[in-house]
Amino acid sequence: MAINNTSNSFLSEAKSIVLDNISNEQFGVSELADKMNTSRSSLLRKIKKQTNLSASQYIREIRLQKAAELLLETEYTASEIAFEVGFSNPSYFTKCYREYYGYPPGETKTKKEEEWNVEQKNEKETKETGIKNKKVNKYIIAITTISIIAIIYFFKDQFTSFQSKANKDKSVAFLPFKNLSEDNSNLYFINGVMESSLNNLQKIKDLRVVSRTSTEKYRNTPKTVSEIADELRVNYLIEGSGQKIENEVLISIQLIDANKDSPIWSEQYKYELDNVFELQNTIAKKIAFAIEANVTPKELALIDKKPTENIIAYDYYLKGLENQNEQSEAGLLKAISNFENAIEQDSKYANAYAQIAICYYYLDLNKIEKKYLDNLNEYADNALLYDSTSELPLIAKALYYLNINEFKLAIPYLEKALDYNPNASSVVLILSDLYARVVPDTNEYLTYALKGIKLNIEANDSIAKSYIYLHLSNALVQNGFAKKAFEYINESLKYNPNNPYSPYLKYFIDYANNKDLKTLTSKLLIEWKKDTTRTDITQELAKMYYFQEDYNNALFYYEKYIDLLATNEIDLYPAENIKIAYTYNKMGFSQKAEQYLNKYKDYLKKDESIYKEASLAMLYLYENKQDKAINAYDKFSLQDDFQYWILLFIKEDPLLKQLQNHPKYEETIEKIEMQFWENHKKLKRTLEKEKLL
């Protein structure tokens, strides 16, 4: 019996209470009885009499009906909605939903559309029959309709304009300014005005401002405004030209709505050189207000802040920037010379100190012997001494820590820099890489990867784009966004079909979507045969056979993996040693098993990661200490930000299968799953709020 009819006051009250506690999986019959101030037996009797359902069935049906509403009204996944309506196990939710509605949650929208179409057809037929039996003054209806249409068309353009501005992404890119000076040596100054104006706009969090490196390639392009905007994924473009004549600078600038390919604001400016900062600030503020960006008082203060009062120092600074952008050792050395000249004119010029530090960082980059560490640190400290509330001094100090491999110390400086410039693409990309590799945090990895791709993707060639999309896809699947990850891995392969890592990741994303372990194994085998020296694929292939309890093949590939480690003198994936030990044990090589078990124990002593308890659980399972393993997994279930791969493969592990008869097995695995999906849900909301997903 369905429970849609709640005219009975008792059932209305009961349903209302259940809905108020819908996301609480612990809310059951006893809790409902307490809330209704009645005994459990009385509640059971009344619900059974009026619905022919048990009280627990009644509560479950309310949960399932609410789930159907959410599936129709939101974009949440079935797993997310399961938690929203109080099911801790998404698989059990799907089973109950199918039994109740006759189809799985994923087909809800399709089924409801089919039902709606049938209803509309019936309603239309009923109306047509009714019209034949009524005499209606068709002339009055016609006049009224014409009036309504006239009103709609009168307000249509204004409404559409208002709606599009309200919904339009506030994304903007500066196209390279044209130098109209007769003297080409003034190009650095015009470029500097552009870059400083862009930098001021980047301080506004409500705007997405594409980096200069992404737009530089359009300096002499034949492409149309619409084509450029489409490639950069922005709604607004800024075009400008300028010239420097003696002690004056003239700038013409216009803001273009890329969707309409028409200017929405344009202006010409003529300023004395001494007032160039006022010019840059005015340009930034005019553009922000034209786009209707929300600019905070703090952001306005940052825009209005002058980097120096000395125009000669600023001129040297702009020359230094032009040298720095040459991206060569000679260019960096010339840049340092110009920045030092700027400091001679203004000894407290923080950004000049910071830029010298940044140049020293790049001079040492990828060098085994670091020659300029002391210089880098000294100039970064001076930059912070004179200004600790701008992004460049903070970035400079972070780069020092990166160069000495103190990655955790770099992160606070980088994140603080984003407080002052939320569109600093270089900072975003560095943070994405740090959270991916050296300070693992799946949520932060994905957040910064998404920000980076919006700010700086066009600054890269097709090979680099392929790797950027590869990393983004990896970040997405690690956080449970498997379908979205599939889109980006295809982008990676589109830009570089020969990327050796993209097919490998794609197979795992396929597995995340279809859970077919044998297909994954066969695809990895094909990939491995292309390059049998790939350590990553070799160990993954061994692991897939291990999961399938095919220990003969598992040992074959694990021994190839061990040989590769020895040949290359590296020690990768130390957590694999427990699986290697178990495989050797199963194949009757007890001494080898003991050797790799001891390696695993050594790894555990050093492990400070969020996975430590899960790794300990594996050791306890190997030693047949099931209660200890359960306790360790229980502690692990409290961790945040662990990777989706844990959920995808945890039940496949032969060691864990020993726990299946333990009374707390199902409960513990459910806790781990629930913790992951709760974090996934929070992350999704945050990313959607920030318009990153």
Q: Tell me the two tokens of residue 461.
A: 């060639």
Q: Which of 91-95, 163-167, 227-231, 590-594 has the highest mean pLDDT?
A: 590-594
Count CB atoms within 10 A of the CB of residue 422: 21
Q: Could you give the CA distance from residue 276 to residue 270 in angstroms, rounded to a whole number?
A: 10
**SS3 of 256, please?**
strand
Q: Could you tell me if 196 and 280 are in contact, meaning their C-beta atoms sit under 8 angstroms apart?
A: yes
Which pLDDT score is estimated for 168?
A: 54
Please state the domain extents for the chain. 9-111, 138-167, 171-306
Count CB atoms within 10 A of the CB of residue 668: 20
Q: Could you tell me if 253 and 239 are in contact, meaning their C-beta atoms sit under 8 angstroms apart?
A: yes
Q: Mean of the pLDDT values across residues 476-503?
A: 91
**SS3 of 255, please?**
strand
Q: Which of 381, 313, 380 is nearest to 341 (CA)?
A: 313
Q: Could you give the CA distance from residue 359 to residue 369 in angstroms, rounded to a whole number?
A: 16
Could you tell me which CATH number the domain at 171-306 has?
3.40.50.10070
Q: Could you give the CA distance from residue 507 to residue 517 in angstroms, rounded to a whole number?
A: 10
Determine phi and psi for 393, rounding to 5 degrees: -60, -35
Count CB atoms within 10 A of the CB of residue 530: 10
Check pLDDT > 60 for residue 154.
Answer: no
User: 336 or 161: which carries more pLDDT confidence?
Assistant: 336
Could you tell me which CATH number the domain at 9-111 has?
1.10.10.60
Pairing relation of β-strands 171-174 and 236-245? parallel
C-alpha pair distances (Å), 532 with each of 165, 524, 529, 560, 561: 55, 11, 6, 9, 10
Check pLDDT > 80 for residue 501.
Answer: yes
Angle between the N-to-C axes of helices 350-364 and 373-386, in degrees from 0 to 180, rounded to the nearest 10: 160
Check pLDDT > 70 for residue 125.
Answer: no
Among 45-59, 305-319, 451-465, 549-563, the minimum mean pLDDT is found in 451-465
Check pLDDT > 80 for residue 671.
Answer: yes
Q: Which of 392, 330, 17 is nearest to 196 (CA)?
A: 392
Among 286-295, 469-478, 531-540, 542-551, the minimum mean pLDDT is found in 286-295
Task: Report residue 134's pLDDT band, with 50, 70 and 90 as the boundaries.
Answer: very low
Check pLDDT > 50 for residue 142.
Answer: no
pTM of the model: 0.60
Q: Tell me the two tokens of residue 378.
A: 């000294």
Among 38-42, 201-205, 379-383, the minimum mean pLDDT is found in 38-42
Q: Could you give the CA distance from residue 328 to residue 396 in angstroms, rounded to a whole number?
A: 19
- Residues 6+ away with beta carbon under 8 Å from 588: none
Which pLDDT score is estimated for 459?
A: 54
Reported as type and span, the H/E element at residue 265 is strand 262-272
Which pLDDT score is estimated for 121?
A: 58
Check pLDDT > 80 for residue 161.
Answer: no
% of the chain at pLDDT higher than 90: 38
User: 95 or 531: which carries more pLDDT confidence?
Assistant: 531
Tens-digit pLDDT profile for residues 384-400: 999 998 999 999 999 99
